[in-house]
Structure 1
Amino acid sequence: MGNSLSDGLTDAVRRFQWFYTCHVRVPHELVEHSALSLTEMRVLFAVMHGGACTAADISRTLGLDTGYLSRMLTQFERSGLIERRPCSGDARSTQVSLTAAGETGLSAASAHVRDDVSTTLDAMTPGERAQLIASMGYVQRLLSPPADAPQVRLRGPRPGDFGWIVEREAQLAPGGTHTQRERETRTAMVVADYLTAPDPLRNGCWIAEQDGVSVGASLLVDGSAGSARLAALFVEPGVRRSSIARRLIKACVAFATESGYGRVVCATDLNPVSVAPFLRPFGFEELSNQGEWEKHLKEPRAF
């Protein structure tokens, strides 16, 4: 028997699945306009999106029995919808791709669905479209199996990023509502210091972006006595947190070094129990009884 939290999450996912199916109706509409079954349409779409893929790739993607899939692909080949060629370097495998007839048939079957989706999106404001794209990215990332080599890049802040940083710092803070509100207040003050700094070039902010979706951030602000303060650092659940956290810290340390800071400090309100494994490899040391981590750089320059 599952616990109440797990049961509640399962019910929420099932409600979303039903809402999405009723709202979009893409698979059912495609079948209505085609002689193919829903599973056959899924396989053809997998071939289209996968490019030159193998039957094993399709089987893993769709969770289909290999024997059942093989018979279906044979029928598609006889109908002229796909073609199969031996894989270069592996004679035991074949690559599957759509023929011109297959592409034409699939495009014709799905054209009206694209029109329906476009009509729905046209009724949204630009802000609503951006929110929808980001939300779909989160859902896809959290429900997808871990990628072997996720495409992650660091970029500078854009309008709206600082509000997102405050929001996620609060929501990801360990503890209850009181702790989260304290974290929200602290982060909002840090962002205010960052945005109103007399010398903005002494501060740095990095957003980790994976496949166009923001998945982490770090914020470095001018401290006191020639020090820089790593004032915010988080990585979203569902991604390879350790590698992204290391990249964010590395960016902070490199920026602080180039800016002539003498050291970088990190306060305990960043939850040092979880960040400690990432700080130590960069030479950070915990200051006993002071609630801080620090890394000494070079002697600060005079400004």
Structure 2
Amino acid sequence: MTVQDIRSFNRFYTNVIGALDYSSRLYAPYTLTEARVLYELAHSSRTDAADLRAELTLDSGYLSRILNKFEQDELIERAPSERDPRRRRVTLTVRGRETAHLLDERSTEAITSLIATVPDADRPRLTEALHTVRSLLSDGRPPRREDVVLREPVPGDLGWIVQRNAALYAAEYGFNTDYEGLVARIVADFAEDHDPHLERVWIAELDGRPVGCVMCVRDEAPGTARLRLLLVEPQARGLGIGDRLVAAVVGFAREVGYRDLVLWTQDLLTAARHIYRRHGFVLATEKPHRSFGRDLVGQDWRLDLHAATETMESIETTERWSDG
């Protein structure tokens, strides 16, 4: 392997994905860097301008010009940071989120078209080769929190949610196929009929693989959203993924105007309940039941979203002190 080999591959791949033609195709009317900033705002739990600059290794003046453009286009709003009033917090407006979603869709369509040229029998080999490159160039270091990306689902992800929920809950808690049926119905209902302005799915991705998920859907009660299907793969636990996924749901539900956020869980899911409590959820009711082949105690938890801001400020303050 030589430097020239890598440079040759870079030129090849750049031509294949059309990266030299972003201005007229994938990200118009925005540049590739501007699209990266939008993507980060749509998927990161930390959206202070300073965090964006560090995450994307951008010059502060360059990032400021991009954010000014976004503000003029009504894509973002800026306000003092909840973690540090000296910082500026940047959040997407509804229009900004729609724009980020559109650009993400274009990128997904381009990659889908590219993959369509690869025979089905060769796709596992391609996937493994991509993972090998990432693993080798990461120098064998263990995964870090900042390596995890929260993104919207792409084709195949909803099926993954059903499969991994069924497999993990069977392996860890002895749930039978009734649970797989429940998850399949929840996911099918979302896929067939959901309001993208009020309902979302997040996929946590690490090294190109999905390692977690969560959903936010409308509840039957007016003004209420429901958190569903929170899951983190065993090998990715300890990276704060569950906390980030719940924070994403809470932030989204507040942003789009829900008054309350509810969820149903089981008392044996102690790690998840700890996360819910940290984000201000309060146990409303609990009731024994027989489901999924087990005797369980179901719990309903509720979060008053008007009180969520104070809770998150407390969490972020604790995190800032624990980070040293």
Q: 203-212 or 157-166: which moved more?
A: 203-212
| Structure 1 contact 137–213 (Cα < 8 Å) conserved | no
Residue among 183, 188, 193 paired with 2:189: 193
- 1:273 and 2:270 matched: yes
State the distance in 2 between where 1:244 and 1:200 align: 23
- 1:282 and 2:290 matched: no
**What residue number does 1:219 align with?**
215
| Structure 2 contact 203–212 (Cα < 8 Å) conserved | yes
What is the CA deviation profile of residues 119-145 of structure 1, one whole-angstrom value per residue up to 9, with x for unaligned ones? xxx8764543455458869999xxx77
| Structure 2 contact 259–304 (Cα < 8 Å) conserved | yes
| Structure 1 contact 154–207 (Cα < 8 Å) conserved | yes
SS in 1 for 2:274: helix
Q: TM-score with structure 1 length normalisation?
A: 0.50
How far 1:148 moved relative to its partner? Answer: 5.0
State the distance in 2 between where 1:239 and 1:176 align: 15
**2:304 maps to amino acid:** H
State the distance in 2 between where 1:270 and 1:242 align: 23
- Aligned pair in 2 of structure 1 residues 216, 176: CA closer, same or farther (>3 Å)? closer
RMSD: 3.5
Structure 2: which 5+ residue stretches go unaligned?
7-117, 288-298, 308-324
**1:243 maps to amino acid:** G
- 1:296 and 2:288 matched: no
State the distance in 2 between where 1:210 and 1:272 align: 23
SS in 1 for 2:234: coil
Structure 1: which 5+ residue stretches go unaligned?
1-43, 50-121
What is the CA deviation profile of residues 52-71 of structure 1, one whole-angstrom value per residue up to 9, with x for unaligned ones? xxxxxxxxxxxxxxxxxxxx
State the distance in 2 between where 1:270 and 1:196 align: 31
State the distance in 2 between where 1:286 and 1:178 align: 24
| Structure 2 contact 145–240 (Cα < 8 Å) conserved | no
Residue among 232, 246, 251 paired with 2:248: 251
- 1:170 and 2:170 matched: no
| Structure 2 contact 131–207 (Cα < 8 Å) conserved | no
**2:303 maps to amino acid:** K
The count of residues paired between Structure 1 and Structure 2 equals 179
What is the CA deviation profile of residues 150-174 of structure 1, one whole-angstrom value per residue up to 9, with x for unaligned ones? 5111110100000000000001105
How far 1:258 moved relative to its partner? Answer: 1.0
SS in 2 for 1:173: helix
State the distance in 1 between where 2:133 and 2:273 align: 29
State the distance in 2 between where 1:164 and 1:150 align: 23
**What residue number does 2:203 align with?**
207
Alignment of 1:107-186 (within 5 A): 125=121, 127-129=123-125, 132=128, 146-149=142-145, 151-174=147-170, 179-186=175-182
| Structure 1 contact 221–229 (Cα < 8 Å) conserved | yes
SS in 1 for 2:278: helix
| Structure 2 contact 134–207 (Cα < 8 Å) conserved | no
State the distance in 2 between where 1:161 and 1:223 align: 23
- Aligned pair in 2 of structure 1 residues 148, 165: CA closer, same or farther (>3 Å)? closer
Residue among 227, 230, 234 paired with 2:227: 230
**What residue number does 1:82 align with?**
none
What is the CA deviation profile of residues 254-295 of structure 1, one whole-angstrom value per residue up to 9, with x for unaligned ones? 111112111111112596423011111100111233521111
Q: TM-score with structure 2 length normalisation?
A: 0.47
Q: 186-195 or 151-160: which moved more?
A: 186-195
Percent sequence identity over aligned pairs: 33
State the distance in 2 between where 1:233 and 1:203 align: 15
State the distance in 1 between where 2:228 and 2:264 align: 7
**2:185 maps to amino acid:** M
| Structure 1 contact 286–294 (Cα < 8 Å) conserved | yes
**Higher CA-based Rg:** 1
Runs in 1 of length 4+ with deviation above 4 angstroms? 133-140, 174-178
**1:285 maps to amino acid:** V
| Structure 1 contact 235–241 (Cα < 8 Å) conserved | no
